[in-house]
Amino acid sequence: MKYTSTRDKSLSVSSAEAIKTGLAPDGGLFVPREIPQLTMEDIDKLVPMTYSDRAVKILECFLTDFTGSELSECAHSAYNKNKFETDEIAPLYKVTGDMYFLELWHGPTCAFKDMALQILPHLLKKSMVKTGETKEVVILVATSGDTGKAALEGFKDVEGTRIIVFYPENGVSDMQKRQMITQEGNNVDVAAVNGNFDDAQSGVKQIFNDHEYAEVLERNNFMLSSANSINWGRLVPQIVYYFSAYCNLVKNNEIQLGDSINFVVPTGNFGNILAAYYAMEMGLPIHKLICASNENNVLTDFIRTGVYDKNRDFKTTCSPSMDILISSNLERFLYQVTGCDDARVSIWMGELQKTGRYEVPDVTKTKIKEIFYGGCCDDEKTLETIQSVAQNNGYVMDTHTAVAKCVYDQYKQETGDVTKTVIVSTASPFKFSDSVLTAIAGEETTAGADEFALLDMLATRAELTIPASLAGLAAKPVIFTTTCDKTEMYDVVSHMLNLS
Ligand SMILES: *Cc1c(COP(=O)(O)O)cnc(C)c1O
């Protein structure tokens, strides 16, 4: 299968090339030329398999220039008991008769980003070999908190690669920051950016699109690539867990093969929910995709009105990994939903760049509403939701998952839909202990406590075990202290690579 660009469909590259380069040369995103189809029989065959075997089957549909044994090597190195705290990798937790949480945070960094970033380095290394690449790859990451650490863990000490992570100085939780500034590995660098996530992301995009700088890098035998969800190599592994969740429901006799279900996805960059959309287009029986936003509700408005307008105040919330006003992966959805209209997508993305706004026509609006429901939830409601689910169901969620649960409640109230529903749980509650404890025990309990005291308090309060990777951070020295302005991001990169 070949890949093309959302902004120019005359382009045609292999999956290895798409994964290696990350972003298409015209600034568009790589998309598959066609979407592979699975029948109910195909899905039935996945039911008895382990997570990593299911992954191989889904990856095979998209990464046709990789052999089965190569994909098997990648999947088994990523999804195993050494890396994840559970054999199941992505377990489903049944809350009530028709509602489940899909826990995607049992990996090394306690957030769902591990699901893709544990396998991406393996796919990338093989892609380099396949495309005859001899330069060293430099992974540039802008993170709203969780991607940075997951990418660092995935790429640390991977031969032939370097990784540089930029995070917004005041836009990540204490624990997220601690995870990044203590990162070990001989090929890693981390810097804080004065600004918010969109500043960090646009800085990284600018470096990516700078052809002159690319030549400087090339002369020094480096090339840039991306571990953000703009890289197709991050999206494909995310499609897997939607199939896997469905198979687990069938396996546990919660549904019959062929029944439709809903997924609720807490959304920022639109990567995770886009993977669900691809699963749906491949034939997974999905009734509705519920797109949940925090107060940065640009997507809620878009789904409801067809107008994408980022001209609004950026809000810093207690679900920081969703504090995003430019949802990059929406571009891929627009390409698909307009029947691959690359010219239209280019115009919209041009308008977004120039005016911060674009509007899709009525036919597109109708299609969007058939697939998605959009809703949002502020911090107060988020904490209330954590509290009520803890009290009523004995289940303690993180803030991002709580946004999803809250929006699901709105959806159910509004539509009366009783379809069985899987809420995608994207982070361990321990990653956001401060907010979670405030929700379940009151603000006074957290006052003055540092991030490690908070872990202990949450463990006691919620009767849960602290993930080993978080507990271990207390003993690790701080390695990275650089803070830069948006305009200095080039210097950080050049400095790390010793460019003259
Ligand atoms: C990244 C992240 C999200 C948002 O996912 P997108 O793919 O950016 O939409 C939600 N929750 C958590 C915990 C995350 O780390």
d(CA 403, CA 386): 9
400 alpha carbon – ligand 1 mean position (Å): 8
* CA nearest ligand 1 atom 2, residue: 321
Q: Which of 417, 334, 432, 438 is nearest to 373 (CA)?
A: 417
Collect the ranges in the chain with pLDDT lower than 70. Answer: 500
132 alpha carbon – ligand 1 mean position (Å): 33
* CA nearest ligand 1 atom 15, residue: 146
d(CA 334, CA 374): 16
Residue 9 catalytic? no
* pLDDT value, residue 205: 86
- pLDDT, one tens digit per residue, over 66-117 is 999 999 999 999 999 999 999 999 999 999 989 999 999 999 999 999 999 9
CB neighbour list of residue 326: distance below 8 Å, 6 or more residues apart: 198, 201, 202, 310, 352
* pLDDT value, residue 271: 96
d(CA 391, CA 201): 38
> Can you spell out the DSSP letters for 276-315?
HHHHHHHT--EEEEEEEE-S--HHHHHHHHSEEE--S---
Nearest atom in ligand 1 to the alpha carbon of residue 146 is 15
The pTM of this model reads 0.95
By most ligand atoms within 8 Å of CB, the mutation choice from 239, 272, 376, 470 for ligand 1 is 272
By most ligand atoms within 8 Å of CB, the mutation choice from 143, 322, 333 for ligand 1 is 322
Nearest atom in ligand 1 to the alpha carbon of residue 269 is 8
Question: Residues of 375-384 as b/e, b for ≥16 C-beta within 10 angstroms?
Answer: bbbbbebbbe
User: Ligand 1: does its nearest atom lie under 6 Å from the Cβ of 105?
Assistant: no
* pLDDT value, residue 198: 82
| CA separation, residue 325 to residues 71, 184, 321, 358, 404 (Å) | 35, 31, 12, 14, 18
Q: At what angle do helices 146-155 and 120-130 cross, to 10 degrees?
A: 50
By most ligand atoms within 8 Å of CB, the mutation choice from 180, 242, 426, 433 for ligand 1 is 426
- pLDDT, one tens digit per residue, over 194-239 is 998 889 988 998 998 899 999 999 999 999 988 988 899 999 999 9
* pLDDT value, residue 197: 84
Instruction: Quote the Cα angle for 460-464-469, to 5°.
Output: 105
- Say if residues 480 and 178 touch (Cβ distance below 8 Å): no
The answer to whether the Cα torsion of 251, 255, 256, 258 is positive or negative is: negative
SS3 of 95-147: the string is EECCEEEEECCCCCCCECHHHHHCCHHHHHHHHHHHCCCCCEEEEEEECCCHH
Q: Catalytic residue among 20, 113, 288, 405, which?
A: 113
User: Ligand 1: does its nearest atom lie under 6 Å from the Cβ of 399?
Assistant: no
Q: At what angle do helices 197-208 and 489-496 cross, to 10 degrees?
A: 60
User: Ligand 1: does its nearest atom lie under 6 Å from the Cβ of 271?
Assistant: yes
Token digits of residue 238: 């995310």
User: Ligand 1: does its nearest atom lie under 6 Å from the Cβ of 146?
Assistant: yes
CB neighbour list of residue 247: distance below 8 Å, 6 or more residues apart: 43, 46, 47, 49, 54
Helix (H, G, I), strand (E, B) or coil at 38: coil
Q: What is the largest CA-CA distance in the chain?
A: 63
CB neighbour list of residue 157: distance below 8 Å, 6 or more residues apart: 185, 186, 187
393 alpha carbon – ligand 1 mean position (Å): 24
Alpha carbons within 13 angstroms on the beta-carbon side of residue 498 total: 4
* pLDDT value, residue 157: 93
* pLDDT value, residue 229: 84
d(CA 386, CA 289): 22
d(CA 121, CA 118): 7
d(CA 470, CA 430): 8
Q: Which of 181, 182, 66 is nearest to 124 (CA)?
A: 66
Rounded (10°) CA dihedral 164, 169, 170, 172:
20
